[in-house]
Structure 1
Amino acid sequence: MKLGFEESQSPFDSGSQQARVWTERWVADWMFCTNCGAPRLSQFPANSPVADFFCPNCSDQYEVKSQRKVFGSRVADGAYFTKIERLASASNPNLMLLQYDRDQREVRNVCVVPKHFFVPDIIEQRKPLSATARRAGWIGSNILLSKVPESGRIFVLRNGQPESKDLVLAKWQQTLFLRNQGVDARGWLIEVMKAVEAIDRPEFALEDVYAFEQRLHTAYPNNNNVRPKIRQQLQVLRDNGYLDFLGRGQYRLRLGR
């Protein structure tokens, strides 16, 4: 999808500044709210502390990260302690990852990570800036995309082709129940969701999830009852429509994940 406006409209000289103007314009012109489906997002004033856009209908906020390369396993973000403090906040933003081809003036991929997938485990603390740096001692953060399950990476645009809006909204709704969970509870649910995804079959058995017992114990070393915890989390996922219980220890992921 082309950005659709001329480079000469940008008052900035550097490529990165121009790209930010272009990509923000693309979001304003083309992006809908992945939470409620509203057709347009509104932009916050420049230099807002955390978010870049918000939905005028449901008030969900979005932080936009854009770059030329495809996003890897981690994304640099803002101040670490501020990010951690905001995890339980209703105003914590969703993360929008936008990858573009500057030469072709084209947005290639747009992926949104819903805010309910943000738990302390996916926020990495960076080293403090050196004493000679302009912001000496400042501690930034990285978002570890590799620790977000596939169901928490919802593509709106993939390889230049838009995904169905109905499918995007359906995928979003399938995990929205996580917002009603506390940060610690969300952490456990997300780890079990990742284990289920790693099985890589739409239908699976309880024993398949038990195979991840050691990994879950490593993630939560103070929990010595991992198997009962796994069963509890599968029940929560079942009760909230993420998967179906087929009986006799058999489960099936809901379609549309």
Structure 2
Amino acid sequence: MNLFIDQNSQYTSRSQIARVMTEGWAATNLYCPNCGHHALTQYEANRPVADFFCSICRDDFELKSSSRAFGRKMANGAYAAKMQKLVSDTTPNLVLLRYDLSRRQVRDLTCVPRRFFVHSIIEARKPLAETARRRGWVGSNILLHLVPKVGRIDLVRNGEVMDRRAVLERWRKTAFLERNTGTARGWLVDVMICIENLEKETFSLNDIYECEDRLEQLYPGNQHVRAKIRQQLQVLRDNGYLVFLGNGEYRRNT
């Protein structure tokens, strides 16, 4: 992977130059972190679904670029469309690229597998004002700070290219989430978020029960939240994300 960005562009706008440069770099250098194929193929311009796809496994990827570090949340498209993608399970994988124009270099490159995009990670923005051209339109934010660390896979970190085999291994580590869709996947990811928020490598069942109120708010139709938590912990244990230590104690295996 060559981190140098070609600055040749016909545009004069800084934002347009950055977009063309980063898309061109991605088309030349990005590989598929799902199947390991050496390159991704760029979709035609202005495609609403995604920016790139893998010709082997057919996974889609959406590229977001910035000269600054990505914060706790990132603006995205229309909220209704984003929710529909979650329902239909057509959300693309997200690629976050941070670049340094002065160095003409990619500094950070992180992939978030689409399996981590669940309802709780998408936030509706305030509707546009009545005076706006698209009055009433509701956009969305992706709450990046809620994505578990295991779901933020670095391909480049501080200008250093990560080992490709390690990237593929990390990607496969949570592939079991793909066997679930909709609410079932949402429960798993939300319990993973609760576990990470504990900031403990080893935790107890009582520790995770502290998330009961939050999960009740996310799933108001469920009257047996504690039983549902225990079910998710068992699934996470069976798939190697957790190690059960006995007596209601667990250890993160990440």
- 1:202-241 CA distances to partner (integer Å, 9 max, x unpaired)? 3333233223333333433443422211111101111222
1:158 alignment partner AA: R
Matched, 1:180 2:186: no
1:131–1:206 CA distance, 2 compared to 1 (3 A):
closer
> How far apart are 1:33 and its partner, in Å?
0.8
Contact 2:120 2:218 in 1 (8 A): no
Distance in 1 of aligned mates of 2:125 and 2:74: 12
Name the SS of the counterpart of 1:34 in structure 2: coil
Hey, what does 1:235 align to over in structure 2?
234
Matching of residues 112-191 of structure 1 within 5 Å: 112-191=111-190
Tell me by how many angstroms 1:101 deviates: 1.1
Per-residue deviation, 1:60:
0.4
Residue 177 of structure 1 and its aligned partner are, at CA, apart by: 1.4
- 1:45 corresponds in structure 2 to 44
Give, in angstroms, the shift of residue 131 of structure 1: 4.1
Q: Residue 68 of structure 1 corresponds to which residue in structure 2?
A: 67
Q: Are 1:34 and 2:12 an aligned pair?
A: no
Q: State whether residues 108 and 159 of structure 2, in contact with CA within 8 Å, keep that contact through their aligned partners in structure 1.
A: yes
Report the Cα distance in structure 1 between the residues aligned to 2:197 and 2:130, rounded to whole angstroms.
43
Instruction: Tell me the equivalent position of 1:3.
Output: 4
Give the equivalent residue in structure 1 for 2:91.
92
Partner Cα distance (2:5, 2:146) in 1: 35
Aligned to 2:57: 58
8 Å CA contact 1:61–1:94 kept in 2: the answer is yes
| Correspondence for 1:244 | 243
Task: Determine what percentage of the aligned residue pairs are the same residue.
Answer: 51
- Counterparts of 1:198 and 1:76, CA distance in 2: 23
- Measure how far apart 1:157 and its partner are: 1.1
RMSD: 1.9
Q: Which amino acid aligns with 2:169?
A: A
Provide closer, same or farther for how the CA distance between residues 198 and 230 of structure 1 changes in structure 2, counting only shifts above 3 A.
Answer: same
For 2:237 and 2:126, how far apart are their aligned partners in 1? 40
Deviations 1:15-42 (A, max 9, x none): 1101011111121122111111111101
**Letter of the structure 2 residue corresponding to residue 38 of structure 1:** H
Separation in structure 2 between the aligned mates of residue 240 and residue 156 of structure 1, nearest angstrom: 24
Tell me by how many angstroms 1:44 deviates. 0.2
Count of residues in correspondence between the two structures: 253
- The structure-2 alpha-carbon separation of the partners of 1:215 and 1:81, relative to structure 1 and needing over 3 Å to count, comes to closer
Moved more, 159-168 or 133-142: 133-142
Residues 3 and 132 (structure 1 numbering): CA distance in 2 closer, same or farther, change over 3 Å? farther
Determine if contact 1:3/1:22 at 8 Å carries over to the other structure: no
Q: Separation in 2 of the partners of 1:218 and 1:133?
A: 33
| In structure 2, C-alpha distance between the alignment counterparts of 1:248 and 1:35, rounded to whole Å | 36
Measure how far apart 1:90 and its partner are.
Answer: 4.6
Give the whole-Å Cα distance in 2 for the aligned partners of 1:185 and 1:71.
29
Check 1:215–1:120 CA distance in 2 against 1; reply closer, same or farther (3 A cut). Answer: closer
How far off its partner does 1:166 sit?
1.7
Give 1:132 shift.
4.1
